[in-house]
């Protein structure tokens, strides 16, 4: 395998920049109307069905999907712009973001037509929230150790076991989960897992128990399945072979702007707190952070542009997520250092301190969610030809 | 004590594979292919490391001149090859991947400066002045230059120096015979000249008309962009060399590249190289499209010089760690790259210098303009 790393200097096309103008105007209106406040949004739940419906009305959910499913058939670079503008102001996208980024595309690829026609248009209207059932008490990064079982029964499958750390399960309409349908084999320990669509609102035998973050925030859940019935039509892809399905979407999931913008508010408020006359130390600190942010963004845009052009930048995508999450994780610490000598009574200092406390508390999860640093570096090492 | 000869022998198949890959990574670009071939033949890092003297230098420079690469940024009508800005940066990235120890980058830069001002570009090795933000030279009414410029690269080997100087309110470009300048020699960490050059009382060989939209700042930004491209090439090279070495070097009965701790270090090195490749590529593309040196170019230059300068430090440390003692020897090629990375990150403004400038710009625009500044292209 070649280690030749490539980042084409992708420019966002004019239609993407035109869309940016529209998106900014929409977000400005929502902020002015009091839907959310970028300065307090980070420690709010971010679950706002009315807002998601208005985003759906704009056509900005499922932007790249086929029109017959409610999509707009626009490019991934346009979707990129929508995502980054929403993230930059911490807009409340919890209802639709997971479905938009990954659940919808999985359904488009693997679900039967009648399910697609039913669910996808609802996602694009902002009415449908998805969660992802991967981790279990005995399997986290080691995804293929999952043991929650789906056993064949008449007309479908019975699920027994538990998923943990499931974000949004308490509000989700559906889960796409990975369940064991056969034992793994000697030759292939990834064999035996199947992907299922689970109706979270209308399936008896499912219990959702909250697991609060150390911040006190309720995002995670434990989802317990006791003989929960899932019909045959809800099998997504090949039985026992879910491991084959996960690869191509991963580059999109790894390289999006959400992989470095989760704590961006602290940089914005740091610049506000320091004001227009920084000393040399403050200026250097801000300058380095902006250079790092700009570089990450150029890398991320490049990966998305290469994907849009039909290339497969898998190594580059993993690198973007590794570096992006490292950066957003260290950002609160850098902001803390650089704000050390700012007067406590100045302008937005109280807001800044509140945000800094929150960002510091959530920072540890950023290099765990969606693939840990350790797993990513293993993937990068493989891409470099070391495995 | 490690036996250096044995290590070099062991290393050569790896170097062969790296050579193969350099050709593959060229993406069907004729200029990159031609450049790569010249360096493979005449500027092989191991051959130069082993060489008892500088006799490799003349054939290398001759081949570069003959191919037109030294004049890549000079239009046909001013004596050059008329390649695009992006082509020139590609050449420089490849030259960084071979740690090329001749003033190719400086000559390209001088050709760019002279032709911007409409001056005929001479053959031969050249360099430029000034090379640091805040320094300036003046051209008096009597036609003589005044002032000094520090850290001028390859001032000892250049035949001519292309300078930008102030004449009254405007800027002019001038061509100076290096032999007429006062030079206080200094050296970079890679042993290349970084000298203080005094221009007091010197009459240039050529002086341009006043040029619009070009000043010392433009030259420093272009110089920083040039170093960014060279550093990106060098980082890709030390990644390749480190990966190949880790696959071959056996310790504790396994190739060290099989150890997770080593893999994770090299993955981080891959990240630093990736950041450098992306930032320098984006910068080259931006300069190629821009009409002048506007805010967007400034953001790209500053970001690339800062981020790639950081990558140079991090990356060099990881590459040395992966190589152990052999990588610290004079016989090994690794230092050809790492000493240049350490030196290039200081040229045309270090990370700290650029970060203060970028930070001041961001602060003066205010918090609400930060995101619009970054999310522009």
Which of B248-260 are b and which e, b meaning 16 or more Cβ less than 10 Å from the residue's Cβ? ebeeeeebbbbee
Contact B236, B97 (CB under 8 A): yes
Angle in degrees, CA A363, A301, B25, rounded to 5: 115
Q: How far is B324 from chain A (nearest CA, A)?
A: 18
User: Any CB–CB contact under 8 A between B133 and chain A?
Assistant: no
B262, B285, B356: residue with CB nearest A280? B356
Q: Could you tell me the two tokens for A104? A: 């919808």
Walk along chain A (387 residues) and give the pLDDT tens digit of each residue: 345 899 999 999 999 999 999 999 999 999 999 999 999 999 888 999 999 999 999 999 999 999 999 999 999 999 999 999 999 999 999 999 999 999 999 999 999 999 999 999 999 999 999 999 999 998 888 888 999 999 999 999 999 999 999 999 999 999 999 999 999 999 999 999 999 999 999 999 999 999 999 988 899 999 999 999 999 999 999 999 998 886 555 666 778 999 999 999 999 999 999 999 999 999 999 999 999 999 999 999 999 999 899 888 889 999 999 999 999 999 999 999 999 999 887 778 889 999 999 999 999 999 998 889 999 999 999 999 998
User: Any CB–CB contact under 8 A between B14 and chain A?
Assistant: no
Distances in Å between the Cα of B253 and the Cα atoms of B9, B164, B257, B324, B363 are: 20, 59, 12, 17, 55
**CB contacts, 8 Å: B264 with chain A:** 374, 377-378, 381
Tokens 């990356």, located at residue: B315
Hey, which CATH number is domain B117-212, 3.30.43.10, 3.40.50.10280, 3.30.160.110, 2.40.110.10? Answer: 2.40.110.10
Q: How far is B309 from chain A (nearest CA, A)?
A: 11
Q: Domain limits of chain B?
A: 117-212, 216-374
B:157-196 residues touching chain A, CB 8 A cutoff: none
User: Any CB–CB contact under 8 A between B84 and chain A?
Assistant: no
User: Any CB–CB contact under 8 A between B363 and chain A?
Assistant: yes
**CB contacts, 8 Å: A77 with chain B:** none
Interchain CB distance below 8 Å, A277 and B363: yes
User: Any CB–CB contact under 8 A between B306 and chain A?
Assistant: yes
Distances in Å between the Cα of B205 and the Cα atoms of A252, B119, B120, B122, B143 are: 57, 11, 11, 11, 10
- In sequence order, what are the residues at sequence separation of 6 or more whose Cβ sits closer than 8 angstroms to the Cβ of residue A304? A10, A76, A77, A80, A252, A255, A256
Interchain CB distance below 8 Å, A294 and B370: no
A7, A84, A385: residue with CB nearest B243? A385
Complex prediction ipTM: 0.94
Identify the structural domains of chain A with CATH numbers, from first to last: 14-128 (1.10.540.10), 132-242 (2.40.110.10), 247-383 (1.20.140.10)
Walk along chain B (377 residues) and give the pLDDT tens digit of each residue: 334 343 333 344 444 444 444 433 445 588 899 999 999 999 999 999 999 999 999 999 999 999 999 999 999 888 888 889 999 999 999 999 999 999 999 999 999 999 999 999 999 999 999 999 999 999 999 999 999 999 999 999 999 999 999 999 999 999 999 999 999 999 999 999 999 999 999 999 999 999 999 999 999 999 999 999 999 999 999 999 999 999 999 999 999 999 999 999 999 999 999 999 999 999 999 999 998 999 999 999 999 999 999 999 999 999 999 999 999 999 999 999 999 999 999 999 999 999 999 999 999 999 999 999 999 88
How many CA atoms are closer than 13 Å to the CA of A121, on its beta-carbon side?
Answer: 9
Q: How far apart are the first and last CA of chain A?
A: 10
CA A208 and chain centroid, separation: 21
**CB contacts, 8 Å: B354 with chain A:** 287, 291
Give SS3 for B24: helix
CA dihedral B358, B361, B363, B366 (to 10 degrees): -130
The domain made up of B216-374 has a fold known as Butyryl-CoA Dehydrogenase, subunit A; domain 3 (1.20.140)
- pLDDT at site A140: 85
How many residues make up chain B in this entry? 377
How many residues make up chain A in this entry? 387
**CB contacts, 8 Å: A267 with chain B:** 370
Among all residues of chain B, which has the CA nearest to that of A299?
B278
- pLDDT at site A248: 55
**CB contacts, 8 Å: B274 with chain A:** 5, 7, 299, 316, 319, 323
> Dihedral sign, CA of A348, A354, A360, A362?
negative
Q: How far is B370 from chain A (nearest CA, A)?
A: 7
Among all residues of chain B, which has the CA nearest to that of A384?
B243
Q: Which long-range contacts (CB under 8 A, 24 or more apart) does A28-32 make?
A: A30/A54, A30/A91, A31/A89
Interchain CB distance below 8 Å, A88 and B371: yes
Interchain CB distance below 8 Å, A288 and B277: no
Tokens 């470009």, located at residue: B173
Strands B170-177 and B194-198: unpaired
B1 burial via Cβ count (<10 Å: 0-12, 13-18, 19+): exposed
The helix or strand, by DSSP H or E, that contains position B53, with its residue range, turns out to be none
Which of A254, A240, A228 has the alpha carbon at shortest distance from A175? A228
**CB contacts, 8 Å: B240 with chain A:** 3
B:18-77 residues touching chain A, CB 8 A cutoff: 21, 24-25, 27
Helical ranges in chain B per DSSP H: 4-24, 30-42, 45-50, 57-67, 85-97, 104-116, 216-248, 260-289, 295-323, 334-344, 351-365, 370-374
Interchain CB distance below 8 Å, A4 and B243: no
**CB contacts, 8 Å: A84 with chain B:** 375
Q: Could you tell me the two tokens for A307? A: 């994907």
**CB contacts, 8 Å: A322 with chain B:** 267, 271
Contact B154, B103 (CB under 8 A): yes
Interchain CB distance below 8 Å, B359 and A85: no
The 3-class SS string of chain A reads CCCCCCCCCCCCCHHHHHHHHHHHHHHHHHHHCCCCCCCCHHHCCCCCHHHHHHHHHHCCCCCCCCHHHCCCCCCHHHHHHHHHHHHHCCCCCCCCHHHHHHHHHHHHHHCCHHHHHHHHHHHHCCCCCEEEECCECCECCCHHHCCCEEEEECCEEEEEEEECCCCCCCCCCEEEEEEECCCCCCCCCCCCEEEEEEECCCCCCEEEEEEECCCCCEEEEEEEEEEEEEEHHHEECCCCEHHHCCHHHHHHHHHCHHHCCCCHHHHHHHHHHHCCCCCHHHHHHHHHHHHHHHHHHHHHHHHHHHHHCCCCCHHHHHHHHHHHHHHHHHHHHHHHHHCCCCCCCCCCHHHHHHHHHHHHHHHHHHHCCCCCHHHHHHHHHHHCCCC
Contact A141, A375 (CB under 8 A): yes
Among all residues of chain B, which has the CA nearest to that of A77?
B377
Among all residues of chain B, which has the CA nearest to that of A320?
B271
Contact A257, A20 (CB under 8 A): no
User: Any CB–CB contact under 8 A between B302 and chain A?
Assistant: yes
Give SS3 for B177: strand
């Amino acid at each position: 395998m070649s280690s030749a790393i490539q980042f084409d200097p992708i420019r966002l096309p004019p239609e993407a920049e035109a869309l940016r103008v529209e998106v900014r105007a929409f977000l400005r209106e929502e902020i002015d109307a009091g839907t959310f406040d970028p300065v307090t949004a980070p420690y709010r739940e971010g679950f706002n069905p009315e807002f998601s419906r208005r985003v759906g009305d704009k056509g900005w959910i499922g932007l790249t999907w086929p029109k017959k499913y409610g999509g707009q058939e626009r490019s991934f670079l346009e979707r990129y712009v929508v995502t980054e503008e929403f993230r930059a102001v911490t807009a409340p996208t919890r209802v639709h973001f997971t479905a938009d980024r990954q659940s919808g595309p999985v359904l488009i690829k693997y679900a039967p037509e009648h399910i697609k026609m039913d669910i996808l248009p609802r996602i694009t209207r902002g009415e449908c929230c998805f969660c992802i059932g991967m981790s279990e008490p005995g399997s986290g990064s080691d995804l293929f150790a999952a043991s929650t079982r789906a056993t064949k029964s008449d007309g479908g499958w019975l699920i027994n076991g538990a998923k943990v750390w499931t974000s949004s399960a308490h509000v989700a309409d559906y889960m796409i989960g990975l369940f064991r349908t056969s034992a793994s084999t000697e030759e292939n320990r990834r064999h035996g897992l199947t992907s299922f669509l689970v109706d979270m609102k209308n399936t008896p035998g499912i219990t959702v128990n909250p697991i609060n973050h150390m911040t006190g925030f309720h995002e995670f859940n434990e989802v317990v399945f006791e003989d929960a019935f899932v019909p045959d039509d809800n099998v997504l892809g090949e039985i026992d072979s879910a491991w084959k399905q996960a690869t191509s979407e991963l580059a999109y999931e790894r390289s999006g702007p959400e992989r470095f913008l989760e704590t961006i508010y602290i940089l914005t408020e740091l610049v506000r707190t320091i004001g227009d006359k920084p000393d040399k130390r403050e200026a250097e600190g801000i300058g380095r952070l902006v250079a790092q942010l700009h570089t990450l963004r150029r890398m991320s845009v490049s990966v998305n542009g290469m994907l849009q052009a039909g290339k497969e930048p898998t190594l580059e995508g993993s690198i973007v997520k590794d570096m992006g999450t490292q950066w957003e994780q260290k950002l609160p610490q850098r902001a803390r250092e650089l704000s050390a000598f700012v007067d406590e009574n100045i302008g937005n200092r109280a807001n800044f301190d509140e945000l800094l406390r929150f960002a510091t508390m959530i920072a540890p999860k950023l290099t765990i969610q969606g693939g840990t640093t350790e797993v990513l570096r293993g993937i990068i090492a493989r891409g470099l030809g070391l495995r | 004590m490690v036996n250096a000869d044995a290590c070099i022998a062991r290393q050569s198949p790896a170097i062969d594979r790296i050579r193969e890959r350099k050709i593959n990574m060229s993406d069907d670009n004729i200029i990159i292919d031609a450049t790569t071939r010249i360096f493979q033949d005449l500027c092989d890092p191991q051959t130069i490391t082993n060489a008892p003297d500088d006799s490799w230098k003349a054939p290398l420079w001759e081949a570069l001149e003959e191919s037109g690469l030294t004049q890549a940024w000079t239009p046909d009508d001013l004596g050059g090859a008329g390649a695009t800005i992006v082509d020139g940066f590609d050449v420089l990235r490849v030259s960084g991947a071979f740690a090329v120890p001749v003033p190719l980058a400086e000559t390209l830069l001088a050709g760019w400066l002279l032709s911007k001002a409409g001056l005929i570009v001479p053959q031969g090795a050249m360099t430029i002045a000034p090379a640091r933000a805040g320094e300036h030279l003046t051209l008096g009414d009597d036609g003589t230059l005044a002032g000094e410029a520090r850290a001028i690269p390859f001032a000892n080997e250049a035949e001519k120096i292309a300078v930008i100087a102030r004449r009254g309110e405007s800027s002019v470009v001038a061509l100076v015979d290096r032999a007429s300048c006062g030079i206080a020699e200094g050296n970079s960490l890679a042993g290349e000249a970084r000298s203080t050059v005094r221009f007091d009382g010197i009459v240039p060989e050529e002086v341009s008309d006043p040029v619009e939209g070009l000043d010392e700042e433009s030259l420093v930004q272009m110089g920083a962009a040039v170093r960014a491209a060279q550093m990106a090439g060098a980082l890709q090279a030390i990644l390749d060399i480190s990966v190949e070495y880790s696959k071959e070097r056996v310790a504790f009965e396994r190739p060290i590249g099989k150890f997770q701790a080593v893999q994770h270090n090299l993955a981080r090195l891959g990240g630093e190289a990736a950041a450098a490749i992306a930032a320098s590529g984006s910068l080259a593309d931006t300069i190629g499209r821009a009409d002048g040196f506007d805010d967007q170019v400034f953001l790209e230059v500053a970001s690339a010089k800062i981020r790639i300068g950081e990558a140079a430090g991090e990356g060099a440390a990881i590459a040395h760690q992966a190589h152990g003692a052999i990588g610290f020897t004079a016989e090994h090629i690794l230092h050809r790259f790492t000493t240049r990375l350490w030196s290039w990150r200081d040229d045309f403004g270090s990370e700290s210098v650029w970060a203060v400038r970028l930070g001041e710009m961001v602060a003066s625009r205010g918090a609400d303009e930060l995101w619009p500044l970054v999310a522009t292209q």
